[in-house]
A = this chain, B = another copy of it.
Amino acid sequence: MTQPIRLQVDEKLHLKDPTSTELGQSVVEQAILMLDELGYEAFTFRKLAERIGTTEPSVYRYFKNKQRLLLYLTSWYWSWMEYRLLLATVNVVPAEARLRLALAELTRPIVADDTLPRIDEAALYRVVVADSSKSYLHRDVDAENREGLFRSYKRLCRTVADMITEVNPGYRFPLALVSTVVESSHMQKYFAEHLPRLTEVKHGQAGPSTSEFLTDLVFRAIAPAS
């Protein structure tokens, strides 16, 4: 059995550390499930409180509002992704092989496992696919960015961008390419399921995968001109 891991997220993302109490853990655990079931718009702190048998203000004690809770969950997800990415590449030396493994981690759908206690990884993945962009597409981005709340996302992108630069130091857009790939990997999954005319990637059946598409895209993009 693998060790349960604990990931750090920025303190400013919560008012009170939800991992420090039983109630806090329930809040995070059930928030993931309810966001997955209801979607971000229909999810409310009142419904969440009812479900875990507590009251609205108790939830507000942990998170300022639902937008911050979403940002907490996505930040946690990015940190977890970076951890998995480092784990997958730690013993690999050749730059191209490292990048290939990193891309495989970045673009592969998450299925359920139990490395993380009380976290439904598959549900969290679906929430990230459908709603992560809403954590920065709003009026307060600039203020939140000044507070450093997007650090884990930036760090992840930087890590992969550095791998690209190692493979081809002459490529001019490593960061833009990585952020495009990360967002596209979610988008293609969402399109395959809901707007299938926008992609060749298939939902839940045999067919070309997002991983194939994006891995091919990256290696062709950064290949030195021949």
Q: Which residues of A contact B (CB under 8 A)?
A: 38-39, 41-42, 130-131, 133-134, 136-139, 141-142, 145, 150, 153-154, 157-158, 172-177, 179-180, 183-184, 187-188, 190-191, 194-195, 197-201, 208, 210, 213, 216-217, 220-221, 223, 226
Contact = CB atoms under 8 A, between A and B. Distances in A.
22 contacts: A130-B137, A131-B137, A133-B133, A136-B195, A137-B190, A153-B198, A173-B216, A173-B217, A175-B198, A175-B200, A176-B188, A176-B200, A179-B187, A180-B180, A180-B184, A180-B217, A183-B184, A217-B217, A220-B220, A220-B221, A220-B223, A221-B221
Contacts of A137: 130-131, 133-134, 190
Given A174-B200, A220-B223, 17 more contacts: A39-B138, A130-B137, A136-B190, A145-B195, A157-B197, A172-B208, A173-B201, A176-B188, A176-B198, A176-B199, A176-B201, A179-B199, A180-B180, A180-B217, A183-B183, A217-B221, A220-B220
A192 to B, nearest CB: 9
A136 B137 CA distance: 14
B221 A139 contact: no
Contacts of A41: 138-139
Nearest to A183: B187
The secondary structure that dominates the A interface is helix
Contact of A154 (B136, B177, B197, B201): B197
